Homo-oligomer: A and B are copies of this chain.
Amino acid sequence: MGRDSFGSLFKITTFGESHGKGIGVVIDGCPAGVSIEREEIQRDLDKRRPGVLAHTSKRQEEDQVEILSGIFEGKTLGSPIALLIYNKDSDSSKYHPIKDLYRPGHANFTYLEKYGVFDYRGGGRASGRETAARVAAGAIAKKYIAPMEVIAKISEIGGESDHTKWEALLQEVEEEGDSLGGIISCTITGVPVGLGDPVYEKLSAKLGYGMLSIPAVKGIEFGLGFQAATKRGSFTNDPFIQDESGKVSFSTNHHGGILGGISSGMPITFRVAFKPTSSIKKPIDTLDREGNKKAFLLPEGSRHDPCIALRAPPVIESMAALVLADAYLLNRSGKI
């Protein structure tokens, strides 16, 4: 692990500020021989791009990924894979009016205390933009872990699970300049029995670590999750059965595919809670760096994502794929 790294054997290190020259990632430890084309990486990046969904930020970043190393003639070489995305739309002049304000819900106050640096140009490393680098790396991890497959979907917006109502809710907050939270559900299929370890490297702990490192995430639960705390053991203990092929399996999946930290062969299921986007167009009390009381709101013309959870599924899929690729490599050392 590390400040800007994730993973032990399949390890990524990301770099780049949201308003600097570019962002990128180095993937160290991807085995040689994985088939991957630039277009596959680009396709995943395009999914998380602002502007492709209605109600997501209109910023036109393009986010064209460049492969700097580690891939030759469509195959990984076993050497580190460096991917670079130059920043295009990074005019930060519009942030001038708020450049000395603590931003509610943001990290610029904690940053200043920690690093002695106050980067008014945007979120710096704490920006959601850093997740583009994770998505690029995740595209390769997904190829490596196939036939395992990770699917993340929006399951709630603003507390509403009926998706016919989301459009109206989003319309409403957009008009008000406010924002909504949401919950993403993720299912991973095709997972072999045995990934993860029984103590500190539990697969659930590592997935949780990965998900909680995504900006705006406030919680994660596996299988029945917080509901499990309200049940009895006679309900939550999933009975063992043999499936039609003779393989040991379970008649229910309340555990969510991980038992004692190790994958059970059942689909892995978890849910991730996102808080509402912090940058809104309604005033919030704040202070400037001299301690004067101010009201904070996004300047006119600023990008505004009314619900950051809308863009989260590809990020969650990528982080999950990165955790699984790492667990898969680590698992090779379990038996002699």
Taking beta carbons and an 8 Å cutoff, which residues of A are in contact with B?
Answer: 1-6, 8-9, 11, 13-17, 20-24, 26, 28-29, 31-34, 66-70, 72, 77-82, 84, 102, 104-107, 109-111, 113-117, 119, 123-126, 130, 144, 156, 158-159, 173, 178-183, 193-194, 197-202, 204-206, 208-213, 215, 217-226, 228-242, 246, 248, 251, 255-256, 259-264, 273-280, 282, 284-287, 291, 309, 329-336
Contacts and interface: CB of A to CB of B under 8 A. Distances in A.
Contact of A220 (B79, B115, B220): B220
A229 B218 contact: yes
A259 B110 contact: yes
Looking at chain A's contact residues, is the secondary structure mostly helix, strand, loop, or mixed?
A: mixed
Nearest to A117: B32
Contact of A109 (B215, B248, B276): B248
Contact of A232 (B5, B32, B178): B178
A178 B84 CA distance: 40
Contacts of A107: 198, 259-262
B221 A218 contact: yes
Given A193-B110, A221-B273, A291-B242, A229 B181 contact: yes
A202 B194 contact: no
* Total copies of this chain within the assembly: 4
A158 to B, nearest CB: 6
Contacts of A180: 232-233
Given A2-B201, A33-B336, 4 more contacts: A181-B229, A199-B213, A232-B276, A233-B277
A296 to B, nearest CB: 8
A15 to B, nearest CB: 4
B241 A287 contact: yes
Contacts of A23: 69
